Amino acid sequence: MKKVISMFIILMLLVFVGPAAAGTYKGKAIKAKLASEEIEGDFMTVWARNFSEHMKKWSDGKIDISVYPYGTLGATGDINELAQMGVVQFVFSDYAWISSFVPQAQVLALNYLFPTEKVPEILDWMVKNGEFMPLLEKAFRKNGLVPLSIMFEGWQWMSSKKEIKSLDDVKGLKLRLMSSKLLVEDYQAYGAAPTPMSYGEVYSGLQMGLIDAQVNPLFAIYSMKFYEVQNYLTQLKSEPFLGIPTVNQDFFDSLTKEAQQEMRKFWIDAIIPAGKWITERNASDGEKMKKAKPELKFTVLDDATIAAFKAKAETVYPLYTKIGGEGSQAILDALLKDIENAKKELGVK
């Protein structure tokens, strides 16, 4: 009789409680820090907080990741160094600022590699099926870091004090860029005079005339108020802004396999929904800028003008293997192959 009652209790528990979740965390309690390259409310910080909340829920509160927006732990270059040193465990950076530590990441700074549509879907296919991501991780690991995914944050826009209609209009333009040797080469090829500058210094640089122009996605131009001291926004369709959520290698390798897999899964699964989120956000912020400053002019260059920019951009491609360091040719080849395969799979021209 006791056996019958015991079996009944077990069956009832299975009905009402269900089996244990497949990803139940059995590791030790962890407190970690994540430094974001962007301010509160912008893409990297929003999705970093989503990641933190997800891992806390998945681990029943055992994995506690505190998120630090831009400026709270240092400038854009500083936070990547902190992650490499293990002072913070995670950093959400981009292909340019992290290139001081992983020069191979600059391959994503080459202009006109990606199609003008379905970039999140392209990245999703690449990360899940391609040859590029394992090679990129190998390069990151040699520098004490691990990339968890690649995230689309919208297309870069050039904001300027004068109107940009052609390559001639870019000649001599004092243009702020993120810190990357390859990005500098990109815009020098267009005839500009690029100047790497920290994110927090851009507004004052534009205001005081130290620079004439800068490059960022629309949400950043709005949230950092760059549009207040600029007259024109120009879309070259040359460069998707790509974020790389990254973790310190020693910390990551010390985690359970289940925790590692869940962290990767979160960021990979987020590529497409985050891409949708930022596309809507960029459109909304564009409208807010037009309303706040009606005289601000938005221009998307025509196909013939873009073709002229693209021809100049292609002259920079061979420089990547000189700047990108060990294994850079294989990384470039894999990226080009993955993009083409993804385009075929997704029906993108």
CB atoms within 10 A of CB 117: 11
Is 317 exposed, middle or buried, given 0-12, 13-18 or 19+ CB atoms closer than 10 A? Answer: middle
pLDDT recorded at residue 23: 53
| Residues in CB range of 36: below 8 A, 6 or more apart | 44, 45, 48, 67, 68, 69, 70, 79, 91, 92
Model pLDDT for residues 264-273, shown as the tens digit of each residue: 999 999 999 9
Helices and strands per DSSP (H, E), number in the chain? 15, 12
Query: Rounded to 10 degrees, what is the CA torsion of 35, 185, 157, 268?
Result: -40
* Mean pLDDT of the region 228-249: 97
Model pLDDT for residues 239-265, shown as the tens digit of each residue: 999 999 999 999 999 999 999 999 999
28-153+241-279 is classed CATH 3.30.70.3270: no
Q: Do domains 28-153+241-279 and 155-240+293-346 have the same CATH topology?
A: yes
Model pLDDT for residues 99-156, shown as the tens digit of each residue: 999 999 999 999 999 999 999 999 999 999 999 999 999 999 999 999 999 999 999 9
- Smallest CA-to-CA distance from 108 within 98, 344, 116, 117 is with 98
Alpha-carbon distance of 299 to 286, in angstroms, equals 12
Domain limits, the chain: 28-153+241-279, 155-240+293-346
The answer to whether residues 39 and 217 touch, using CB atoms and an 8 Å cutoff, is no
pTM higher than 0.85:
yes
CA distance to 51, 88, 132, per residue, from 157 (Å): 27, 31, 26
Query: Rounded to 10 degrees, what is the CA torsion of 13, 18, 22, 23?
Result: -80
Q: Topology of 155-240+293-346 in CATH?
A: D-Maltodextrin-Binding Protein; domain 2 (3.40.190)
